[in-house]
Amino acid sequence: MALTKNKHKSYDYIVIGAGSAGCVIASRLSEESRNKVLLIEAGPVNKSWKIDMPLAVENLLITETYNWAYESDPDESIKGRQISHPRGRVLGGSSSINGMVYTRGNALDYENWKAKYNCTGWGYSDVLPYFKKSETSLEGGNDYRGHDGPLFVTRPNLMADPVNKAFMQAGTQAGYPITSDSNAFQQEGFGPNECTIYKGERWSTARAYLTEDVRSRENLDILTETLVKKILIVEKTAKGVSLQTNGVSREVYADKEIILCGGAFNSPQLLQLSGVGPRDVLEAAGVGVVHELPGVGANLQDHPDLVIKFRCTKAIGLGKILKFPRKHLTGISWFMNRTGEAARNQFEAAAYLRSRVGLEYPNFKLEMLPLAFKHHTFEPYDGYSFQIHMTLMRADSRGSLKIKSANPEEKPSIKFNYLSSPSDIVALRDALRLTREIVSQEAFNDFRGEELEPGIKVLSDDELDNWIRENVATAFHPSCTCRMGSSDDPMSVVTPDLKVIGIKNLRVADASVMPEVVSSNTNAPTIMIAEKAADMIRGRALPQEQHSFYKAKDWMVNQR
């Protein structure tokens, strides 16, 4: 893909970050030919088969070719461990390196945004039209699903894989509901994990929104391998950006707005580098205070993730393609026809469940993977195995991001404080016991072998808590560091129209604006945020859509 260099020194709109949000916004704003739009990405063009092949995702997470490769600060609450946080540094951003799972979150997530944080215009009836606008559900459109959007969404056939089929049947045997579509009326229960894969290839926002027709627009310029060093702010008005390409610095200006789409790490980092943020953080880093905004970099949230692992007693799952000749035949099938195991992301069966009585809606997610990896690695166990990810969807722990200096190339300090809230470790402990109960069901009798991790001897609360602290990792969903809320809330960074408080002509539109992380993977909600932001900037909005959503009737007295 040949990318244009910026032809102008000034644009109407400058979009910083060509990731899950930035590609959407640049595409939508440039639909109007009178708008001159510049899209800037620090990483290269997405031209690798490793990005296109769904099964190659692990390689993208452990190399730095298309990855910022962040690492969290040591967390005392998880025994001083640091956790790797890959984030996309490539056209398409993290949508070009993620696991391709398409999940929107629960309707009550958005109702809570509106009610708890005064985020007017962000209730479920407000956001549903933008989810629909963004997607083409290959199952067909309806009241909840889109039929003509740029993002293709595929639903896997769970009955085609014996382990996935057993997982679904075990859920029913354990007394949980089944849902045919967790992105529609009912999130709660066992069901298919939809994905952004189309015709055997990853469907990132770069692919969906920056098509050849879009890239050829005269009013859209795209700069890759270009670092934004700071936003130029004059008299509390964003005027332009300072860029660096191949070691050469220059300035580019925006006549209307600058839209920051760097994500939960890069957006607060760039605001702080530009003098917008907590005074103590800016002064410690040697950055002059342009506007004191204490919420920038605060409220950092994520989805803590645990994995329980089992041997499989049958020759099924991904274990059967790990060695010659099946491994090579799998690759050939994909390269020749875009078919076979390499055309799937393998996270195809999932469940959204409540860990205890008294929760209105699911607080953890299970995802089945028909292969188990050894402790803290991507090296599979020998033979046949499977693992189940247990992801806490609404953790109470909060962290922060702080720049260390005025150098834009120095990575910031990222402190998650995982499990610092006692309620989080209790929820994960409950989730582990509930998952063991699910795997103990009759449906798994033909497949269930030895519990590899944590192992059947790890039983008591203290033993489980110790194992959890040693093994909790991330589902790669950092968010909430530039949270939206009312302008009189001292920790709000943007108002519900996504404008940065105290700075004119500057918005943030990405996962960082979430006041609370949604109860799902974050890519689909980030795309929705970007679609809605683009309409806000253009001075329009889709009408609300009032559709009902599921909530267990007896949630006050029953866990399932």
Enzyme catalytic residues: 477
Q: What are phi and psi of 443, to 5 degrees?
A: -60, -25
Are residues 61 and 97 in contact, defined by beta-carbon separation less than 8 angstroms? Answer: yes
Pick the closest to residue 431 from 399, 404, 401, 471 (CA basis).
471
CA 368/CA 443 separation, integer angstroms: 14
Strands (E), 165-303: 189-192, 197-198, 201-202, 220-223, 226-234, 237-245, 248-260, 276-277, 291-292
Tell me the three state secondary structure of residue 96: helix
Pick the closest to residue 368 from 171, 147, 126, 139 (CA basis).
171
Angle separating helix axes 124-134 and 523-537, nearest 10 degrees: 100
Are residues 122 and 489 in contact, defined by beta-carbon separation less than 8 angstroms? Answer: no
CA 135/CA 122 separation, integer angstroms: 19
Give me the DSSP letters along 188-206.
SEEEE--BSEETTEE--HH
The C-alpha angle 368, 370, 371, rounded to 5 degrees, equals 115
Burial of 399 (0-12, 13-18, 19+ CB in 10 A): buried
Q: Which residues lie closer than 8 Å to 240 by C-beta, 6 or more apart? A: 10, 14, 231, 232, 251, 252, 253, 254, 258
The amino acid at residue 106 is: N
Q: Which residues lie closer than 8 Å to 464 by C-beta, 6 or more apart? A: 429, 432, 433, 454, 458
Are residues 124 and 130 in contact, defined by beta-carbon separation less than 8 angstroms? Answer: no
Pick the closest to residue 447 from 156, 190, 169 (CA basis).
169
Are residues 388 and 353 in contact, defined by beta-carbon separation less than 8 angstroms? Answer: no
Distances (CA, A) of 494 to 56, 142, 291, 491, 502: 37, 33, 13, 9, 9
User: Facing residues of 88 across strands?
Assistant: 67
183: its two tokens: 């992105």
Distances (CA, A) of 4 to 7, 39, 213, 458: 8, 10, 13, 57
Distances (CA, A) of 292 to 153, 251, 277, 344: 41, 24, 5, 47
- What is the total residue count of the chain? 560
